[in-house]
Structure 1
Amino acid sequence: MMLDIDTLNVWFGSGRDRVDAVKAATFSVARGESFGLVGESGSGKSTILRAISGLAPQWSGRMVVDGTPLTKTRPKAFYKAVQMVFQDPYASLHPRHSVDQVLGETLHLHGFGDIDARVVKLLDDVGLGQKFRFRYPHQLSGGQRQRVAIARALAPEPQLLLLDEPTSALDVSVQGEILNLLVDLRRDRGLTFVMVSHDLSVVGHMCERLAVMQNGQIVEVLGVDALRQNAATHPYAQSLLAASI
């Protein structure tokens, strides 16, 4: 099992200001699987990714990645194994760092040598090529920026990619290209995905199974075949599927 989440609670603030964003979430993701988290805005799906990645420090329960239980502090090896692609490629890249700096610094941070060759290969792998190497984010389109963000996530050679609505900030014409790129990368690199989306058609294209979230809770886990057949059993999951048709 690549990821095992058991009775995960995530909250923000304390005392009367405390907000319980995720309540007793439990699911597991097999090695090589693509698993979706769907639900309305504020349902807690992105918060689960942030808890796994270490960006939401207030949590309880059990999270295990590739057999290793996670604690509040993460070892360096964790960030080599687990990487995240964020929703907004405009915000996730440093505006004054060239593509070469973004990728080169990530590779250096994770102890890789032969950085030049690795940067070139990463750009090729995400469909950009060397001509983009010394460009800055403002010289790139939204789709190109997201390809750079994906290349940065791939640089440490992770096993698990956390995808937080990776196409929702992009033009519709570009979304399909990025999703197909992710499908190809998963196949070629044997990656495991956990993908957050509010778009059920995206999840149907990308994932084998999905969890439906409402008000911080997972109300149903179903396979993509059940999604396509509109065969959910929980009333909220049924209404979510019906609204997407």
Structure 2
Amino acid sequence: MSDAGKGKVPALEISNLNVFFGHGESRFQAVKNVSFVLPEGASFGLVGESGSGKSTVLRAITGLVRDWSGTIKVAGSTLGERRETAFYRQVQMVFQDPYASLHPRHTVDRILSEPLRLHRIGDIDRRVLQALDDVGLPRAFRFRYPHQLSGGQRQRVAVARALMLEPRILLLDEPTSALDVSVQAEILNLLTDLRARRGLTYLMVSHDLAVVAHMCEQIAVMRLGEVVEVMGVEQMRQATPEDAYTQELLRASLGYDRDFFSAHMEE
């Protein structure tokens, strides 16, 4: 782990998490005894191929899947079966597809103001305008609809919506995989900047090791629902993982354009 949050209560603790789908003979275990600790202010990556269970971990945390066992703690408090309203003031999620995650018939203004109204938070106009500023969108976009925005602009709206309640933890589910590579770098730079300015904690899911290497200090590699290895990003960059599957995953990722990311990502 990084030194972020050292000596403090961890932002997120997952212990022996198991997640199931289906019933009876068709019941399937998608996540098997997953455990990790995320210090406050850290950025932690879950990587693995499609179907490895990494996104399911995020859905268990947010309560989007109900059939799970184990322990999930946020800021030291153990979560129950249902998520209380206060949970969403602490934890928010940014989904993979920015178009699917935004209501097509709602303006940007309504998308951003709705969480504030649900949680009875005032000063809506100022907060919406500030949110647009924070994610680098012109204020004139306030009354546009998602179909009037580019993919990168839609994902900026999705990030802004996740930040409206001023959470401490963002769960990032492949937040750039639906975007062009040049736009990916812009969104990753935005997320890096927001984390630094707001002291946010990130749990990021990705199949792209290049993305994770730029965003996270520590990485858990998942395969068939299990964590097979946890390593620091420097260990990954030096291509010295211990697990055979991790080595295979790393070799498969070596085709990414290192020069492109070096040119586009901020130090």
1:181-196 matches, cutoff 5 A: 181-196=190-205
Q: In structure 1, how many angstroms separate the alpha carbons of the residues matched to 2:40 and 2:238?
A: 26
Identity of aligned residues (%): 65
Q: Which amino acid aligns with 1:149?
A: A
Assess if the C-alpha contact under 8 Å between 1:38 and 1:197 holds in 2.
yes
The residue that corresponds to 2:253 in the other structure is: 244
Across the aligned residues of Structure 1 and Structure 2, the Cα RMSD in angstroms comes to: 0.6
1:49 paired to 2:58: yes
Q: In structure 1, how many angstroms separate the alpha carbons of the residues matched to 2:20 and 2:75?
A: 25
> Which digits, 9 at most, give the CA deviation of each residue in 1:19-46, with x for residues without a partner?
1100000111000000000000000000
The residue that corresponds to 2:99 in the other structure is: 90
The alignment partner of 1:76 has SS state of coil
Q: Which amino acid aligns with 1:189?
A: R
Q: In structure 2, how many angstroms separate the alpha carbons of the residues matched to 1:165 and 1:206?
A: 12
1:23 paired to 2:32: yes
> Which digits, 9 at most, give the CA deviation of each residue in 1:133-169, with x for residues without a partner?
0000010000000000000000000000000000000
Assess if the C-alpha contact under 8 Å between 1:120 and 1:130 holds in 2.
yes
> Which digits, 9 at most, give the CA deviation of each residue in 1:55-114, with x for residues without a partner?
011100001010110111111110110000000001000010000011111111122111
The residue that corresponds to 2:160 in the other structure is: 151
Q: In structure 1, how many angstroms separate the alpha carbons of the residues matched to 2:114 and 2:93?
A: 17
Normalising by structure 2, report the TM-score: 0.91
The alignment partner of 2:246 has SS state of helix
1:198 paired to 2:207: yes
Which of the residues 44, 56, 80 maps onto 1:71?
A: 80
Q: Which amino acid aligns with 2:130?
A: K
Assess if the C-alpha contact under 8 Å between 1:11 and 1:59 holds in 2.
yes
Q: In structure 1, how many angstroms separate the alpha carbons of the residues matched to 2:199 and 2:72?
A: 21
Q: In structure 2, how many angstroms separate the alpha carbons of the residues matched to 1:112 and 1:128?
A: 22
1:107 paired to 2:116: yes
Flag structure 1 segments of 5+ consecutive residues without an equivalent. Answer: none
Q: Which amino acid aligns with 1:31?
A: E
Q: Which amino acid aligns with 2:91?
A: V
Q: Which amino acid aligns with 2:78?
A: P
The alignment partner of 1:22 has SS state of strand
Q: Which contiguous aligned blocks of 4+ residues in structure 1 show a shift greater than 4 angstroms?
A: none
Normalising by structure 1, report the TM-score: 0.99
Q: Which amino acid aligns with 1:124?
A: D
1:172 paired to 2:153: no
1:162 paired to 2:179: no
The alignment partner of 1:113 has SS state of coil
Aligned length: 245
Which of 35-44 and 167-176 deviates more? Answer: 167-176
Q: In structure 2, how many angstroms separate the alpha carbons of the residues matched to 1:136 and 1:6?
A: 41
How far apart are 1:16 and its partner, in Å? 1.1
Assess if the C-alpha contact under 8 Å between 1:120 and 1:129 holds in 2.
no
